Amino acid sequence: MKDVSFGQYYPADSFLHRLDPRVKLLFLIAFIVVIFVATNFYGLAVCAAVLIAIILFSRVPVGKVLRSVRGIVFLLLFTAALNVLFHKGDTVYYQKGIICISLEGIIFSVFLALRLVLLVLCSSMLTYTTTPVALTDGVESLLTPLKWIFVPVHALALIMSIALRFIPTLTEETERIKNAQLARGANFESRNLIKKIGAVIPILVPLLLSALRKADELGDAMEARCYTSGVKRTKYKKLTLTWRDLVAVLVCAALIAGVVLTRVFLGAPY
């Protein structure tokens, strides 16, 4: 859980930190769509170039950003192995039964792995450069039209904000429980899958109880402060667009145009 980057805000005074959270949310959505629109490595190269610029302008340490990828290493290896072994192509290196290792399969595996890495990194940059409160305000503002059909937008935004705030707390709680279990002689290093699953249970049960207890305490604290859902609430900080947001919109438009052009003119997949 140390590799979970969602909700882990990195304080800094950078160009990205000062952007409007609504612009950052829309940029992230556009970035994710563009990654799936890209059908060749040239398109992914454009996305990677924009992402590198974002990381540099954010002033977030590169090592910290790259650590967010460690949480999906197993998924990357698993999907890559499946595509290498079962993706059929014209240039076959080895084939036996349903197993087929081809040049096209290897290329597709690399392409898919790069796509997943870009997805994780761009999502991590949103939470690294945006506080949970600002993110909640941005989501609530973007979902304002849903209020016209009586959707509880504020409640949904509040739930998201609380969930993001609880991630670092649960991470610390997990580490504390694990250390306590190790002190009692628990073994988490066994290579036996059944024993590994059995060793996780002494962590999950206290963690679940701790999460329920913290949720109950949070509910009591909100009631003690006379919090009422469904009423019109004022904002201490009002979201306003600046020239930085205009620059971000232009960069987003250039990104979309660049990927679309690579797909149209450079054509062939991968």
Give the pLDDT of residue 40.
85
Contact 37, 261 (CB under 8 A): no
Give the separation between CA 54 and CA 81, rounded to whole angstroms. Answer: 31
Q: Is 101 helix (H, G, I), strand (E, B) or coil?
A: strand
Give the pLDDT of residue 4.
54
Contact 87, 108 (CB under 8 A): yes
Listed by start position, the domains of the chain span 1-132+239-270, 153-229
Give the separation between CA 99 and CA 92, rounded to whole angstroms. Answer: 11
- Measured between its terminal Cα atoms, the distance across the chain in Å is 33
Contact 42, 269 (CB under 8 A): no
Tokens encoding 184 = 């009692």
Of the candidates 155, 119, 145, the residue with the CA atom closest to the CA atom of residue 229: 155
Tokens encoding 6 = 């969602």
Walk along the chain (270 residues) and give the pLDDT tens digit of each residue. 455 555 578 888 888 989 999 999 999 999 999 998 888 888 889 999 999 999 998 888 888 888 888 878 888 888 888 878 877 777 777 777 778 787 888 888 888 889 999 998 998 888 899 888 888 888 888 888 888 887 888 888 888 778 877 877 888 888 888 888 878 777 767 666 676 677 777 888 888 888 889 888 888 888 888 877 766 777 777 788 889 999 999 999 999 898 888 887 776 555
